[in-house]
Amino acid sequence: MNWNDGVAGKARLRSLGSFAVVVLLWMGEAHGQAVGEAGGSPANSATKATDLRGEWLRNGPGFACKVAAGRKLPPELLTPEVLARACQHIGPFVIGQDAKAVKAALGEPHRTLAGSNGQTQWIYFLGQRDHYPYLVVTTLNERIAVLQVTGPSAAQGYGFNRIDLGATSDALVAVFGQPNHVEPSELKDTELWAYGVWPFSFEVKAGHVTSIRISEP
């Protein structure tokens, strides 16, 4: 009955299952900007966890974090948790980083909100005060737990994994593939696109990315 054969192959794909970080360690080239523990100055001694930079790559139904490293990494950095965080950058900040690095780079937050479970949210307007775009840094135990950048158009230097605010949904799909979950956002005419257990999500309005959120892997 006019059944598309392409479906059968897809049906055999395994489901996401539990979250398992697939890390590709790329030793072929030195990576670009390194992020220091306090303020973004390049590390010039031993490589630290926050120095690592990687990129999420779609890998079947899941993702792999491809980490580029210019040198041999010490054993303590060769863990899935550390390497997965290498893909969790927005701008100069990375998930798991010492929260002091944010204040060192951006100063005192424009607003501070007390969150639940001991979390604190720092709000930084990246352009004009009280206007888009803005960055929300959620801290827990003095570490960065969540980073979210919001606005209708690109905030210079605050992209994530080749996706900037204002990117089209087609561009988003080209990098991340189709989402595993879509639901209405709290914002009017806006959808939340999530990727199952993977620690990033996007808000999409009228075919454009209006918010990027990353969290602990």
Which positions lie near other proteins, rule CB under 8 A? 1-8, 10-11, 13-16, 61, 178-184, 191-192
Q: Is 216 exposed, middle or buried (0-12, 13-18, 19+ CB in 10 A)?
A: middle
- How close are the terminal C-alpha atoms of the chain, in Å? 44
C-alpha 130/C-alpha 146 separation (Å) is: 21
Strand, helix or coil for residue 156: coil
Residue 51 or 191 with smaller CB distance to other proteins = 191
C-alpha 87/C-alpha 195 separation (Å) is: 15
Residue 6 or 42 with smaller CB distance to other proteins = 6
> Tokens for 49?
């966890």
| CA 114 to chain CA mean position, Å | 23
Residue 7 or 114 with smaller CB distance to other proteins = 7
Q: Where are the beta strands (DSSP E) in the chain?
A: 22-26, 53-59, 62-68, 89-90, 93-94, 111-114, 120-125, 134-140, 143-150, 181-184, 190-194, 200-205, 208-215
Residue 157 or 184 with smaller CB distance to other proteins = 184
C-alpha angle 126-130-136 in degrees, rounded to nearest 5:
50
Residue 47 or 180 with smaller CB distance to other proteins = 180
Residue 12 or 72 with smaller CB distance to other proteins = 12
Task: Give the nearest distance from C-beta 181 to other proteins in angstroms.
Answer: 5
Nearest by Cα to 115 from 151, 146, 158: 146
